[in-house]
Every structure is written in structure tokens, then in C-alpha cells.
Amino acid sequence: MDLSPNQVVIDPSALAHNLRQVRRVLGEGVGITAVIKADAYGHGMLRAAKTFQGAGAERLAVAHISEAVTLREKGIHGPVVVLCGVHSQNEAAAVILHDLIPVLSDFGSVDCIGEESQRQGARVRVQLKIDTGMGRLGVPWTETGAFLDKALAQNSLEPEGLVSHLPSADDPDRKFTEAQIRRFTEVLETARSRGVPLEASSLANSAGALWYPEARLGMVRPGIVLYGGLPSPDLKSPISLRPAMTLSARVLQVRRLPGGTPVSYGRTYTTPGERKIAVISAGYSDGLPRALSNRGSVLIRGRKLSIVGRVCMNLVMADVTELKDVEPGDEAVLLGQQGSATITGDEVAESCGTISYEIFCAVGQCGKKRTEHENET
């Protein structure tokens, strides 16, 4: 029995809508690898996998092999790309057993999967990660030829494409990203000269897919836009996105406080006059950022109202003076839609000086843990 006053609800139809919106701007011949790592950015990996496959995604991508194995064990078929690759014999064996596509980021990982696949007499599809400027995983683009030769020398491996990543495609200054695109174009020519198939090659993340048509190639890897968020709160979306996550709570108490009354920890807010304050059943233990103290919003009875005082572990307060009929038990939406009003992940992120990725992951993870605990008890 679910006795919690707080709920995290995911709308699969919004996920499907967002993928179709991405598809609409890509044009013909561009595939979609839907990124569902980190429990689909808090939206539930299995739910997202089924929804995106049903909406036409050609591939799925996760960060780690453990995530991909979970998908297979839950009955998810089709190509699954493992972005963080292979780093041990056990991981290599799991790749082979579950027919996964690892992204190889260094010479050692080529040896690792190559040796295990030869031992088992198996052939493994792989992708090769080239660092064109991210400074994270991958072989420097200047070493592309040697990396390709290393992979092609392993007869049990089937390189199906090259991948790289754009760290600042959401930056108004386009020069760095355009330089990366030129580098990756050279990288692809090097691969083409060696007969490596390029259809599965990808460079564009969400920002690249939407704002850099020349980066789309034959495959894109959108993540955050599939969940209704933007790579940066400052960007304006060229497509119609629908938020998929809702965090709702309940009004526990409504108090009339005289002017000069401090509210919550640290007395960072004091009523400027007589105010009506609602105490709401969610806090930072539910993934609500403490940075929303005195600056965030909540929806009650379809109205957007201000959070006042510090966000607590299990409670948050809002000024509901303008509402005549608010009462205990009313729904309070801290992320998502209520009536015609919406609080988006980007709006929350902008108030906190962060990005919607972090908001979704935190809220989704807290909601998942609460559900697991209730199921156990």
C-alpha cells in the first residue's frame, strides 16, 4: 500500500512525443540512438527503453554494461550500445553473452574484448571512441589511424563506426564545436580509407542534433531532449518538447502568520505582513534542490506560487496568500504540470544554477528508492 503523500509520475506518451519531435527535424536517413543511461535520467530505464523502441528508435545507449545486462534480462532486444565500454574480462564476456555493442576508448580495451572474443570464437560489433576535443574518454583524433589499425587487426572484432562527443554544442559561440565537426570529418575519412563502415558513426548529442545539421551524419545520440529538457536553460527549443516527469506532494497545513514571523531554518524569510503559508510534504530528500529556498515555485490549484524559507529535508513552505480556498490535502506540484501551468526541469535548474539533467536524476532516483522501500515493506 502506497501511503506516501509524494509521487514521481512519468508520462510515457511525453517520451514518445519528444522522440518523434527529434525525428521530425533530422530528415531522411538519420537514425536515433536513444540515450537511457542513469536510469533514463531518472525516468526509469526499462520504461524508457520500451517507449523509445516503440516510437521508432533504432538503438538504445547506456553508460555501463550492468545497465545493458539488466535490459537484456528484462526482455529488451535490439542493438544496445555501451558508451563506457569494456574494461575487464568479465565485462567482455558479458558483452558477448548478451550481444552488446561496446564503445572502445583506448588500445587496452581493444585487446580486452579482442582476446575474449577470440577465446570464445565469437564476433563482436564495436564502436571506436575518438576524442575531438572533449578531453574525456577516447583516443586523440591525431591517433585515429593507429587506433583503427589496432582494432582491424583483431579478426574477431567488427568495427561498425566511430563516435565522438560535443562538450559545448549548447554554447552560443560555435567556433569550438565547428572545429570538432571538421576534425571528426577528417577522422571519418581515415576510417573510410580503411574500409570501416560508417553508418553507425555518431557525433551529435541533443544540442548537436538540434542546432548543428552538419553533425547529424547517419546517427545521432539524443539524451536530455527525449525527457523534455534542454542542454542549457538558456536555450530556446526549435521543437515542441513535453516534460515527462512530475513530482507532486500534498499540503499538510495552512497557517496564517502575522507580519515579522520567520519561516523555516535560518530565518532567511520573514513575512512582510500577514501571510498565509502552506506547509508541503516534500523536501530535499525527495530530490527537491535546497537551492530553491526563497526562489523556487510550486503549483497549487493551477497557480504558480513562491517557495518561502529554506527547503527542509521533508517539507517546503509556499506563500499561498492569493489563494482563497487552499486547504490540507491539496496537491502541490513541484515539477511538472498542473492544469495549464507548468514548472519545467529547465526552470528549476535555472533557479538553482544547474542543469535539468541533475534535477531529473535526483528526483527520479529519490522516487525510485521510496517505491523500492515501500515494495520491500
Active-site residues, by number, are: 37, 265
DSSP assignments along 205-220, one per residue: -HHHHHH-GGG-TTEE
Instruction: Name the burial class of residue 27, with classes exposed (0-12), middle (13-18) and buried (19+) by CB atoms within 10 angstroms of its CB.
Output: exposed
CA distances from 296 to 11, 139, 339 (A): 23, 42, 19
For the chain, the first-to-last Cα distance in angstroms comes to 9
Q: With beta carbons less than 8 A apart as the criterion, state whether 291 and 353 touch.
A: yes
Q: Residue 63 is placed in which grid cell?
A: 553508460
Quote the DSSP letter at residue 118.
H
DSSP assignments along 300-336, one per residue: ETTEEEEEES---SS-EEEE-TT-SS--TT-EEEEEE
CA-CA distance, 145 to 263, in Å (whole number)?
63
